[in-house]
A and B are shown apart, each in its own frame.
Chain A
Amino acid sequence: MSKERIKISEDLYDIMPSDYQDLVKSATYGKEDRGWKDIGNSKELIEQHSLCAGCPESMAFRYILASLPNPEDTVMVGSTGCTSLVFPMVAVHNIHSLFGNQNAIATGLKRALSVRFPGRTKDVVVLAGDGATVDIGLDMTLQAWFRQEKFTTICFDNELYANTGGQESGLMQKGFVAKMAPVGKLFDKVRLPEIARESGCHYVIQCTVSKPSLIEKVVRNAVMIAREIGPTYLQLYTPCILEIGKNSMEGLQEMRDSEKPTERFAYREYISEPAKQLLAEVSAKDKEKKAAAKQLASQGA
């Protein structure tokens, strides 16, 4: 669409909020090669947020919104938790309804959009915390994957219930002492990436959000594979610095420490055969484009 759908009537331009004017002027809707490098020189699709200072989740939000390949036709689905404090400031349509039902909402939404807009791309991306994804919403998370629903599920894994004040969650590490785990968590961190693979996800990534370029890559891949093939799952470590006793400046280091090869957030990926094929095709096309551009440039020179 580029910016066709958000442009402002001339008569009303001066009374529109400046952040909306900025969206029209310099947001990256319709820009094919949009990515994390646009942050800082174009209008982001996220306005202010009320997350804690230095929260890695806020970084993750920015990278993801900068990396969506098709934001002008993307609808996001959230759930209750810290993410629901950000979504009202996000410039793509998004739905919050209940706690834990995000993959059910996304199922209905994706199907409705497919019925209403046959032949057009409408991406659906779920973004929810680990409580919503793995605990209260687990059945709907898995069932959407079993049914091969064509949308991306992103889990912000902060290993606890952050918004309610740091209670035990299924993705918490064993032994961690938290509210509702007064003697330490008694069972292992739920292995959702493996479960995702067994449940039919075609692209499963576990990583931290320490590197924006990596987030850009995995978000683009996940959305494109979900669009063409079937469900995809990203589990991103976004530590809750508040609840693990860190300061605002320490989030990045916490992620770097946790992604070392021996640590629990070492980069892991699973890509199904059809998804590999799709990625190879996409990459071949990109190469062709780049080669053509290079040739044009050299001819020009």
Chain B
Amino acid sequence: MADTHSVIGTKNKKGQTFTDTWKMMNEAPRTPSFYTGSEVIKEALRRASCDVMIAYPITPQSEAAALIGELFAEGYIGDYFRGESEFAVMSQCAGAAFGGARVFTTTAGPGTMRAMENFPMWSGARLPIQMIVTCRGINSPLSIQPDTLEISYLLNTGMLVWHAETAQDFFDWILKGYMVSEEPDVHLPLALCCDGFFVTHTKDVVNLTPADMCLPPYDPYRSPVPCMDMECPPVRMMRDPFVMKSNYISYATHASWQQEVWAAVERSRKHTIRWINGLIETENADAEVLIVASGTAVSQGREAIRLLEDEGIRCGLVKIKVLRPWPGEEIREATKNAKHIIVPEFNVTGWLAKEIRATIPNSERVNAGPRVCGGMTMPPEIIVSEIKNLLGMRTMSLAGRGS
């Protein structure tokens, strides 16, 4: 059964010290390092006390998944292998998590879609698996370019969904993500998303925690459901399986469990706020013009704000870090004075703008765009242009528009 003594301060087989996560993340010295996003994922995993990582090649996450294989070869990961497809990989992750392991995987675009059947199962089975999603196009014709449409499909799975802007977010959130996911009153999988290539394949300065410190191991007995390892009594789960029954008690059981999963998503709120300092971040939120965005659209928004400042136009920023649980209250508060809310997005449907419109009063204030997709970049100038148009100002004509 579960150990009752603390492992904090003891060493693992690689000589790393199991460290209180709060101290490791907030008090330990940090070393600035110049790394690609993929390398940052590896460095986070080096410190994550991960039991099982399962890999599958798909651009743009292949490099990160392979680098974690190197960590396994060095002895930092309990087990590691390449699965046969994303559907299988996500089921293998489930099997490992059912067996009480701390599990990590990475995927992207069509892989996320292929694996989709697993995600509500993960949540329903309360498996705190962490999955990195390096977003890319899912449309046909085939595309490997950045595009965030796949995130919208994850929003109703019962998973926690976070959207990193930078490699620094990634490093910190991978480690902190486990702390939120593994709380007994949460115990849900986390989809930690980023915009492929923009984050995975660019280099950035990232402040790393000491390599000789690592997270405390996962304790599978701090779970709201039994760990499937025959270390606790094998209770008969139910008299008749509910799938057989078309009656009130069966419906009520399913309904209450779904409600419980979403209640657990809600309960993650307090832990998330504590660990990553709020579900959103704001700058100049009192401005009449606000850019509200997630992922690298936030970075482009920052640039646009700088360009607008040069022209004397004041514009604020809301960075949405967490999509599930949805920061509705925070967004209502942050946007209460805004006359224009600009939502730049890297996808064709504008799912984030729809979420925001459904959240705030006077939703006609929301301008669903600019949007780019299919791998297009989003020059800050098009955000500037969108804002000036909204303010009734003349804008430079963009090439090819003919205006």
Contact = CB atoms under 8 A, between A and B. Distances in A.
Interface of A: 1, 5-6, 17, 19-20, 47-48, 50, 72-75, 77, 84-85, 87-95, 97-98, 101, 104-117, 122, 139-140, 143, 147
A93 B228 contact: yes
B101 interface: yes
B101 A112 contact: yes
Contacts of A143: 83-84, 88
Contacts of A91: 234, 236
Most buried by A among B88, B93, B97, B103: B88
Interface string B138-178: 00000000000000000000000000000000000000000
Given A98-B117, A112-B96, A140 B101 contact: no
Contacts of B95: 77, 95, 104-112
Contact of A109 (B88, B226, B228, B233): B228
A168 B238 CA distance: 31
Interface stretch (B240-248, B267-275, B293-301, B358-366): B240-248
A89 B232 CA distance: 16
29 contacts: A5-B232, A6-B234, A50-B244, A72-B230, A75-B99, A84-B241, A85-B244, A91-B236, A94-B228, A95-B95, A95-B228, A97-B91, A98-B118, A101-B88, A101-B91, A101-B94, A104-B92, A107-B95, A108-B97, A109-B228, A110-B95, A112-B79, A112-B97, A112-B98, A115-B52, A115-B78, A116-B51, A116-B101, A140-B84
A143 B121 CA distance: 22
A77 B99 CA distance: 11
Contacts of A114: 79
B92 A50 contact: no
Given A75-B230, A116-B51, A139-B84, A98 B241 contact: no
A21 B47 CA distance: 45
A6 B94 CA distance: 25
Contacts of B233: 5-6
A108 B91 CA distance: 8
A105 B91 contact: yes
Contact of A122 (B84, B93, B229, B232): B229
B96 A109 contact: yes
B258 interface: no
Nearest to B88: A104
A280 B105 CA distance: 41
Contact of B79 (A50, A98, A115, A140): A115
B81 interface: yes
Interface residues on B, range: 35 or more
B243 A84 contact: yes
Given A90-B236, A112-B97, 15 more contacts: A72-B230, A84-B241, A92-B234, A93-B229, A98-B117, A101-B88, A105-B91, A108-B52, A108-B92, A108-B95, A112-B99, A112-B101, A115-B51, A115-B79, A140-B84
A90 B230 CA distance: 12
Contacts of B97: 108, 112
Given A50-B241, A85-B241, A98-B117, A108 B231 contact: no
A85 B52 contact: no
A92 B231 CA distance: 10
Given A50-B240, A107-B92, A113 B229 contact: yes
B125 interface: yes
B316 to A, nearest CB: 45
A148 to B, nearest CB: 11
Contacts of B125: 97
Contacts of A113: 99-100, 229
Contacts of A147: 81
Interface string B32-58: 000000000000000000011010000
B99 A116 contact: yes
A227 to B, nearest CB: 14
B223 interface: no
Contacts of A107: 83, 92, 95
A186 B231 CA distance: 48
A109 B230 contact: no
B228 A75 contact: yes
Nearest to B84: A143
A91 B230 CA distance: 10
A101 B78 CA distance: 23
B351 interface: no
A97 B236 contact: no
A140 B91 CA distance: 10
Contacts of B236: 17, 19-20, 47, 88-91
Interface in B241-280: 241, 243-244
A137 B230 CA distance: 26
Contacts of A19: 236
A88 B100 contact: no
Contact of A140 (B88, B94, B229): B88
A282 B43 CA distance: 47
B85 interface: yes
B235 interface: yes
A112 B100 CA distance: 7
B398 interface: no
Contacts of B117: 98
A86 B50 CA distance: 34
B237 interface: yes
Nearest to A140: B88
Interface in B306-352: none
Nearest to B77: A115
A107 B51 CA distance: 14
A108 B230 contact: no
Nearest to A102: B91
B100 to A, nearest CB: 6
Contacts of B234: 6, 90-93
